[in-house]
């Protein structure tokens, strides 16, 4: 009987071609990046949000020098909106807040959920393996605390429109993994007056040495084949760590800290190779009596909401219900 824990037969050259590397780890842009749009853009007649790149001026930050901040258009003064800290996907090794798919997603997230969105530009593996991205996201959270306390130069958009007492951490794919770990680290700190009310995970990227049924069923998935997932972990995890490291596999290293987060929202699709791991994640949340809203949809694929704006509409609706605590719930 074949060893189900072996990696499918593919080469590192294939991995690098799919990921946008050459053999010396020099990135090439497979997906275009776009500029922020802080003002009305005449080339976008249906513009739904404004965005701008904000330098992080907190001392000692190790981030790249900006976050991308989004607000809906047509806001009135004294409007206070929930604040979403958003972490993009890309397998820990690629893409950016400025990648066109994530930029469009955050524009619509701000507009349709009626929220202020802070998109995190985190360091990338393999040059900066995990936990670098967790630390960078935590640095953004601490920067927002300083904003709430007026300890640093205030950003006018944040202070006019963001409700620092209603903060949510959201991530897609590897960004979901980062959101999970950053939220647990943040839960150990005194962030007042910042208050994290929940975590939103969209197709979170978890792993493990033991294969799941969905990984084997979708072993050559066109969006996240198993050989690529294995390679991403090899590039992102600390040196010589395997997929049962705590950064990859949250299930075998203690799960009690999840109780420190008030509410969770978890979403995945049946044709995502991650679906079995995500269902187990929800099962453990329920076992630990943690409030969780979960949505598992038939069909779909990994990264669908980033690739297709229409596919993202149900997610925006569910996230809005979760943030404003309306609509159907599982808890």
Q: 290, 213 in Cβ contact below 8 A?
A: no
Single out the residue of 52, 35, 46, 55 nearest to residue 157, CA to CA: 52
The span from the CA of 14 to the CA of 228, in Å, is 9
- The residue from 96, 173, 174, 214 that is catalytic is 173
Closest-CA residue to 81 (of 161, 159, 148, 167)? 161
Q: Which of 136, 155, 272, 276 is catalytic?
A: 272
Tell me, yes or no, if 173 is annotated catalytic. Answer: yes
Q: Residue 158: which of 143, 173, 138 has the closest Cα?
A: 143
**Whether 146 is catalytic:** no
At residue 181, the pLDDT reads: 97
Running DSSP on this structure, what letter comes out for residue 169? E
The answer to whether 102 touches 88, Cβ cutoff 8 Å, is: yes
Strands 196-202 and 292-297: unpaired
Active site residue 41: no
Token readout for 138 is 């935590």
SS3 label, residue 139:
helix
Residue 249 phi/psi, 5-degree rounding, is -115, 100
Per-residue pLDDT of the chain (331 residues; tens, 9 = 90+): 344 555 566 755 566 666 666 545 566 667 899 999 999 988 888 899 999 999 887 666 666 668 999 999 989 888 899 999 999 999 999 999 999 999 999 999 999 999 999 999 999 999 999 999 999 999 999 999 999 999 999 999 999 999 999 999 999 999 999 999 999 999 999 999 999 999 999 999 999 999 999 999 999 999 999 999 999 999 999 999 999 999 999 998 888 899 999 999 999 999 999 999 999 999 999 999 999 999 999 999 999 999 999 999 999 999 999 999 875 566 5
- The sign one gets for the Cα dihedral 25, 28, 32, 38 is positive
């Amino acid at each position: 009987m074949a060893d189900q824990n072996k990696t499918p037969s593919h080469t590192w050259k294939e991995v690098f071609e799919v990921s946008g590397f050459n053999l010396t780890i020099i990135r090439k842009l497979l997906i275009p990046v776009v500029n922020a749009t802080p003002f009305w853009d005449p080339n976008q007649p249906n513009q739904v949000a404004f965005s701008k790149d904000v330098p992080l001026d907190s001392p000692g930050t190790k981030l790249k020098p900006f976050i991308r901040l989004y607000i809906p258009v047509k806001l009135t003064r004294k409007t206070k909106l929930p604040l979403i800290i958003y972490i993009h996907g890309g397998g820990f090794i690629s893409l950016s807040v400025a990648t066109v798919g994530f930029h469009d997603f955050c524009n619509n997230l701000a507009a349709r959920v009626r929220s202020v969105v802070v998109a995190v530009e985190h360091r990338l593996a393999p040059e900066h393996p995990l936990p670098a991205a967790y630390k960078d996201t935590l640095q953004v959270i601490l920067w927002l605390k300083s904003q709430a306390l007026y300890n640093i130069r205030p950003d006018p958009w944040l202070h006019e429109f963001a409700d620092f007492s209603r903060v949510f951490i959201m991530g897609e794919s590897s960004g979901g993994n980062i959101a999970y770990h950053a939220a647990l680290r943040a839960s150990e700190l005194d962030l007042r007056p910042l208050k994290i009310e929940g975590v939103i995970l969209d197709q979170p990227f978890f792993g493990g040495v033991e294969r799941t049924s969905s990984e084997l069923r979708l072993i050559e998935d066109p969006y996240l084949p198993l050989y690529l997932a294995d390679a991403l972990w090899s590039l992102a995890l600390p040196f010589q760590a395997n997929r049962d490291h705590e950064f990859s596999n949250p299930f075998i290293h203690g799960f009690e800290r999840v109780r420190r987060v008030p509410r969770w929202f978890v979403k995945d699709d049946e044709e995502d190779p991650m679906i079995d791991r995500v269902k187990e994640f929800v099962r453990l949340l329920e076992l630990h009596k943690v409030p969780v809203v979960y949505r598992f949809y038939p069909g779909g694929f990994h990264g669908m909401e980033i690739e297709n704006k229409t596919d993202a509409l149900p997610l925006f609706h569910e996230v809005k219900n979760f943030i404003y605590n309306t609509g159907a719930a599982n808890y």
